[in-house]
Structure 1
C-alpha cells in the first residue's frame, strides 16, 4: 500500500484533497513524531543507551538527533520500565521480551499488509473506489484496525494461557522449565525450489499459503502447534507420538494426495527440547529435519524413540535400511503403520 507517486499536472505534489502516504502513516500511529532519543530518555528517566537498546530490540534502526519518536513511544518505554522498576523482571529480560514482541509484530504487520493489499486493489476497481489506493487503504485502516487490535489482545491472552498449560502438561522438568518432552515433526515440500522457478509470484504465494494453512489446520486439530514455517517446510510439535503420527498422516492426505500440490515428506523424532525465544532446539529437532531428507515422497518415517512411544497393540514398526544422516552418522529410520 505504497503512496501513489504518479505526477499529475506536471507536478509530483498531490492535489490538496488527495490522501497522502503521510496521512496513512499518521492514521496508523495516531500521533506525530515529536521527540528525539535524548528527549525520550529524559521523559522516561532511562539512559539513552537503554532507550536505543529497546528501540533496536523492536527491530527499528536508530534515529540520531531526529525527532522520530511519538508520545506513544514515550508511553511504551515508561510502561516497560514500570515493571522493571517494580522488580518483576530485570532490564535484560525486558529487552528479551521486547525483541519477541518486535519480531512477532513485524511478521504480523507484513502478513496483514500483504493480505489487505489485494482488498485495497479490489476496492479501487469497484464501486467503493476513492480514486486513490491510499484513500482506500485509509478507509480500510479505520474499519479493520480497531477490532483487529482487540483480537490481538484476546489472542495473546489465549496463547499465553495455553503456553503456561503446556509447560505443566508436557512435564517440564523442575530443574529447567525451558526443557519439555515432545514429538517434533518436520514437513517438507518436494522439489519446491525447482517448482518455484516455473511459477510467477502470485502462484508461489498461493502455493505457500495453501501449504501453511492446511498444515496449520491439521496440527491444530490434534492439539499441536506450529513452531515456524519456512515457505516450503513446517516445523511442529505435539505432546504425544500418536498425535504426531496423526498430524503427519493428515498433512500427507491434504498435501501429498492433492494433485494440484507438490509431494511432501514427513519426519518425526521424540525427546527433550529446549524452548527459547519462541523456538525449540535439541537433537529431536535436528533428527526430524534430517529424516525428511531420506523419506520417500508422501511417506512418513520416524526415529526409534518415537516408534518406542507408540503402543505395540495399535502400531506396527518396520526398521528401514541404515542410511547416513548428517550429524548423526548411520541411522535406521522406522516406518510405522496402524494394525
Structure 2
C-alpha cells in the first residue's frame, strides 16, 4: 500500500480544505490519507489547520488537548486565584507569558491543572514557596516528558511508516501509557517526599536537642554535580542528558575506592562518603580531574563536609549531609570546596594545597561557614 500512496485519489473535500497546500507526490498522498482518517475520528478541518503536527493530534487528545482554549481571566474565575498569581503560576508550569488576560491561548486542560495550586493555597501553603516547588517540579517533569516523547515516537517510527501509521501508533502507545503515568509520578514523588521528610526530621531533631541523634557518627560527605544541567536540558537531547548523568555516576564509582563509598546518583549529582575526610578529598580531586580531562564532558562543582550523620538503609542523614550539599552549591565550576571542619581534620598533607575562599552564609546553615578550596599540589 505504501508504495502506491502517491497514486491514491484524494477526496475533493480535503483538496478544497487547503490542508494539502505546498505538498506533492507521496507526501501529499500520505497527508491526505492521514486527514481522511482524522476526519472520521472526529477532528475538524479547523483543528487540523491550527496544528503544527497533525500526526500527533490523536495522541494529544488522549492527554487533554481538546482544542478548547481559555484566558487567564477565565482560569482565575475557575480557580478563585488573583489574575497576577494565575499568570505567575502558569509561568511556573513552564507555559509562555501572555500580557492580555482575556486572550484565549491556554488549553483548557492546562488551566485546569492550576486547580491543584488553588487547593494548596486553600490549605495555607505560602504562595511563594508553592510557586518555587511548582517551578522545580515542572523543570524535572519537562525533561521526563521529553524522554517519554522520544521513547513513544521511537516505538512507532519504523522504516516505511506513513503519517497515518505514526498517528495510529502513537495513539495506541499513549492510550496504554497515559493511565500509568499519574500513579507512577505520584509514587516516585512520594518516595522523594518520604526521603526529604526523613532528612528534615533528622536535621530538626539535631536542632532541637543540640546533640546528634543516637547512632550518629563522624563521616565525611561529598557531592558533585554537573554545572548548568538545567540549561543543558534546553540545548541537548534527553538521551544525551541521560548519558551525561550516567557518565558522572560511572566516573564517581571509579574514584570511590575503599574506604570511600559511592552512595547514590541523584539526577545530575552524585554522593560519596568516607569515615575519614582525606581519602574522600583525594577522590574528589580525581573526579574533578577526570571531568576536566574530558573535553566533551561538562564541568563539575564539588563540595565536602565532615561531621555527625546517621546511616539508614544505605543512605545518610544529618546536618553534615545538608552542609555538604550547600557547600557544593557554593562552588565554582571545576572547584572542590571544603567546609572548615573537614579542612581542619585533613590539615597539611602531601599532594594537596589549600586556599581560603572566605566565610559564607549558606542556606539552612546556622552562622557563616568558612570555606577552603583544595587543589592538587602539582
Class of the TM-score when normalised by the shorter of the 2 chains: 0.5 to 0.7
Asked whether 1:58 is paired with 2:93, we answer yes
Structure 1: gaps spanning 5 or more residues: 176-180, 190-200, 230-234, 293-300, 311-316
Q: Alpha carbons of 1:217 and 1:79: their partners in 2 closer, same or farther (altered >3 Å)?
A: farther
For residue 112 of structure 1, what is the aligned residue in structure 2? Answer: 148
- The TM-score with structure 1 as length reference comes to 0.60
Find 1:135's aligned residue among 157, 168, 177: 168
Q: Alpha carbons of 1:165 and 1:321: their partners in 2 closer, same or farther (altered >3 Å)?
A: closer
CA contact (8 A) 1:184 1:244 kept: no
For residue 157 of structure 1, what is the aligned residue in structure 2? Answer: 190
- The TM-score with structure 2 as length reference comes to 0.55
> Map of 1:1-339 to 2, 5 A cutoff?
7-8=23-24, 14-17=34-37, 20-29=55-64, 31-63=66-98, 64=100, 65-86=102-123, 88-121=124-157, 124-125=158-159, 131-169=164-202, 174=207, 183-186=221-224, 207-208=243-244, 210-212=246-248, 214=250, 222-226=262-266, 229=268, 235-237=269-271, 269-270=304-305, 280-281=325-326, 283-287=327-331, 290-291=334-335, 305-306=341-342, 318-322=349-353, 333=374
Counterpart Cα distance in 2 of 1:146 and 1:216: 36
Counterpart Cα distance in 2 of 1:120 and 1:99: 32
TM superposition shift of 1:101: 2.3
Answer 1 or 2: which has greater helix percent: 2
Superposition RMSD in Å: 5.3
Secondary structure of 2:113's aligned partner: helix
Secondary structure of 1:153's aligned partner: helix
Structure 2: gaps spanning 5 or more residues: 1-20, 39-53, 209-218, 228-236, 307-318, 360-370
Greater C-alpha radius of gyration = 2
Secondary structure of 1:270's aligned partner: strand
TM superposition shift of 1:29: 2.1
